[in-house]
């Protein structure tokens, strides 16, 4: 019999070395909010999202791009001084980003992407494109799901999304899973059983990331992040150019 395919989950980027992603299809998840916001931006018609690790790097790139650039992102949850947009999905509309390059940097999400430089492919996942990501992953044999977390801490919202992906793929065939994949799958099954009575948005509000957003006045972003399958797109990070485009 052929060897089963493999799914590994890493609840923080630092729980894996970059070389562990070599040859793998990697899904980066930062539900609250970077990956959710990137998906919203591309769905709203942004030409691409250019990923930057540092604020100064983002300013330099935006100057090079000129009027085609929109600066977006956050530090400590808030919009960066001199940027056009923060990290709230609702800011990324056809009017604000349509046809333009979003130059984007965040505290956790873009750093998680940086950890995946040796991957074969890097996809961007959130609850808002859950089914689309799962369909894309069905053609892969070796998958890693990297949760961004918050300031070095594991976050429930990222773990639940990772569990939803693992659970969906596990229904489609046999996979070898690491312990973190087993843990998040079990957590998602427990949460999903109660979604009718306890909506996902309420669960996300109680997570570390949710509490942080409520504390800085961005509670509405939680509702946007909890909209399962709002979009049928799978953004992919081009590791040669560090640009994310929809597919």
Q: How far apart are the C-alpha atoms of 188 and 160, rounded to whole Å?
A: 5
User: pLDDT tens digit string along 123-139?
Assistant: 999 999 999 999 999 99
pLDDT for the residue numbered 184:
98
Q: How crowded is residue 38: how many other Cβ atoms within 10 Å of its Cβ?
A: 32
For 180-189, the pLDDT digits (tens) are 999 999 999 9
| Model pLDDT, residue 4 | 77
Query: Distance between CA atoms of 42 and 46, rounded to whole angstroms?
Result: 5
Ranges under pLDDT 70 in the chain? 1-2, 197
**DSSP helix/strand/coil, 130:** helix
CATH 3.30.160.620 fits 5-245, yes or no: no
Q: By three-state DSSP, how is residue 95 classified?
A: helix
Contact 153, 107 (CB under 8 A): no
Whole-number average pLDDT of the chain: 96
For residue 193, the model assigns a pLDDT of 86
Cα–Cα distance, 91 to 68 (Å, whole number): 17
- pLDDT for the residue numbered 143: 98
In the chain, where are the structural domains located?
A: 5-245
What is the model's pLDDT at position 1?
A: 52
Q: Is the pTM of this model over 0.95?
A: yes
Q: Give the β-pairing of 69-75 and 78-79.
A: antiparallel
- Token code pair at residue 28: 């980066």
Q: Would you state the pLDDT for residue 96?
A: 98
Q: For position 103, what pLDDT does the model report?
A: 98
Q: Residues 6 or more apart from 65 whose CB is under 8 A from it?
A: 50, 101, 103
> DSSP assignment of 134-194, as one string?
HHHHTT-SEEEEEE--BTTB--HHHHHHHHHHHHHHHHTS-EEE-HHHHHHHHHHHHHHTT
Q: How many CA atoms lie within 13 A of 146 on its CB side?
A: 31
């Amino acid at each position: 019999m052929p060897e089963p395919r493999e799914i590994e989950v890493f609840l923080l980027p630092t729980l894996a070395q970059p070389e562990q992603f070599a040859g793998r299809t990697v899904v980066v998840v930062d539900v609250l909010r970077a990956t959710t916001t990137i998906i919203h931006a591309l769905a709203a018609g942004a030409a691409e999202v250019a990923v930057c690790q540092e604020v100064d790097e983002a300013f330099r790139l935006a100057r090079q791009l000129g009027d085609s650039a929109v600066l977006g992102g956050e530090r400590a949850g808030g919009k960066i001084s001199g940027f056009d947009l923060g990290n709230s999905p609702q800011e990324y509309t056809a009017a604000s980003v349509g046809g333009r390059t979003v130059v984007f940097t965040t505290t956790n999400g873009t750093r998680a992407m940086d950890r995946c430089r040796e991957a074969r492919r890097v996809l961007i996942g959130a609850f808002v494109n859950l089914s689309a990501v799962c369909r894309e992953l069905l053609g892969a044999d070796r998958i890693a799901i990297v949760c961004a977390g918050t300031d070095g801490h594991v976050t429930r919202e990222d773990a639940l999304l990772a569990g939803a992906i693992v659970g969906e793929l596990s229904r489609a065939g046999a996979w070898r899973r690491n312990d973190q994949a087993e843990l998040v799958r079990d957590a998602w099954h427990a949460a999903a059983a109660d979604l009718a009575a306890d909506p996902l948005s309420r669960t996300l509000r109680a997570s570390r990331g949710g509490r942080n957003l409520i504390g800085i006045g961005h509670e509405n972003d939680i509702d946007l992040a909890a909209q399962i399958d709002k979009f049928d797109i799978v953004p992919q990070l081009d590791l040669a150019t560090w640009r994310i485009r929809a597919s």
